[in-house]
């Protein structure tokens, strides 16, 4: 079969498919994809691992920072720290430097920069970055020498440092990641989300599949 043969047949498909594509507008999302720049090159896997352990597996941790986890985020980042795509609430569109103190655990400082023009058009602009992510469906893809970071964003309730990451982990191998969502008062797990990080060997890509994703965090 030739492409021309196919193209001719495609040209005769029902007009509903043409109309659907001609009039398509993406769903309005609660969360908007934005680009964060120049962050976390210095993140240490070991330190993060310790942090994660402290955050997720210590229900009795004291909330020294008076933080409230607000939004759940799955995100990914190149290991070289060039970029980050993530989902954030409208209210946290901002730029600057943030350093989180999450559930009593200090987080690394990072810089973020959200360009309003990108947000307004609901269009993240990517330049030379290698990773991208879709919310609630697919996908993180990146070069094989990069890492994927799974994290969620929380509000610190502090005017100078309003938002910070709670990082679940960095992954370079296929794995299942269980994300425990803690009740903000009791710090006990109220919900778990399984994230499958799989490796597509033939394409040298990773795929992050999120099952049972909760948009509001924590679940009330």
Partner 1 sequence: MNDEEIIELFFERSEQAIKELDIKYGKVFLSLSNKILNDELDAEECVNDAYLATWNAIPPTRPNPLLAFVCKIVRNISLKRYEKNTATKRNSRYDVAMEELEDCLASSTTIEKEISERELTDIIESFLESLSKENRVIFMRRYWFSDTYADIAKLVGLTEKNVSVRLTRIRNDLRKYLSEREVLL
Q: Which of 36, 77, 87, 141 binds partner 1 (CB under 8 A)?
A: 141
Distance CA 182, CA 126 (A): 33
**Footprint (CB under 8 A) of partner 1, residues 90-119:** none
C-alpha torsion angle, residues 76, 78, 82, 86 (rounded to 10): -10
**Strand pairing report for 175-182 and 189-200:** antiparallel
Q: Which of 47, 70, 80, 130 binds partner 1 (CB under 8 A)?
A: 130
C-alpha torsion angle, residues 211, 215, 219, 220 (rounded to 10): -150
In this complex, which beta carbon is closest to partner 1, that of residue 42 or of residue 125? 125
**Footprint (CB under 8 A) of partner 1, residues 25-84:** 26, 33
In this complex, which beta carbon is closest to partner 1, that of residue 1 or of residue 201? 1
Distance CA 215, CA 129 (A): 26
User: E strands within the chain?
Assistant: 31-37, 68-71, 76-77, 83-89, 95-102, 105-113, 132-133, 140-141, 148-155, 163-171, 175-182, 189-200, 205-210
Q: Which of 95, 122, 157, 198 binds partner 1 (CB under 8 A)?
A: 122
Q: Which of 57, 59, 94, 123 binds partner 1 (CB under 8 A)?
A: 123
In this complex, which beta carbon is closest to partner 1, that of residue 18 or of residue 41? 18
Using the rule CB under 8 A, is 159 a contact of partner 1?
no
In this complex, which beta carbon is closest to partner 1, that of residue 18 or of residue 178? 18
Binding residues for partner 1, rule: CB under 8 A, are 1-24, 26, 33, 85, 122-124, 126, 129-130, 132, 134, 137-139, 141, 203, 205
């Amino acid at each position: 079969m030739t492409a021309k043969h196919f193209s001719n047949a495609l040209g005769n498909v029902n007009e509903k498919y043409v109309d659907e594509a001609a009039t398509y507008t993406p769903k309005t999302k609660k969360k908007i994809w934005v680009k964060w720049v120049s962050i976390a090159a210095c993140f240490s896997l070991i330190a993060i691992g310790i942090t994660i352990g402290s955050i997720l597996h210590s229900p009795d941790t004291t909330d020294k920072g008076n933080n409230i986890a607000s939004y759940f985020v799955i995100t990914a980042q190149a290991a070289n720290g060039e970029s980050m795509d993530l989902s954030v609430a409208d209210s946290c569109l901002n730029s600057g430097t943030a350093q989180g103190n999450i559930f009593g655990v200090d987080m690394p400082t990072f810089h973020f920069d959200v360009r309003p023009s990108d947000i307004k058009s609901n269009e993240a602009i990517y330049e030379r970055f290698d990773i991208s992510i879709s919310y609630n469906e697919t996908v993180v893809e990146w070069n094989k020498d990069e890492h994927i970071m799974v994290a969620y964003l929380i509000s610190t309730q502090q005017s100078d440092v309003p938002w910070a990451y709670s990082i679940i982990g960095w992954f370079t191998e296929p794995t299942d990641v269980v994300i425990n969502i803690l009740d903000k008062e009791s710090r006990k797990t109220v919900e778990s989300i399984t994230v499958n990080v799989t490796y597509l060997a033939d394409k040298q890509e990773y795929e992050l599949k999120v099952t049972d994703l909760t948009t509001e965090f924590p679940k009330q």
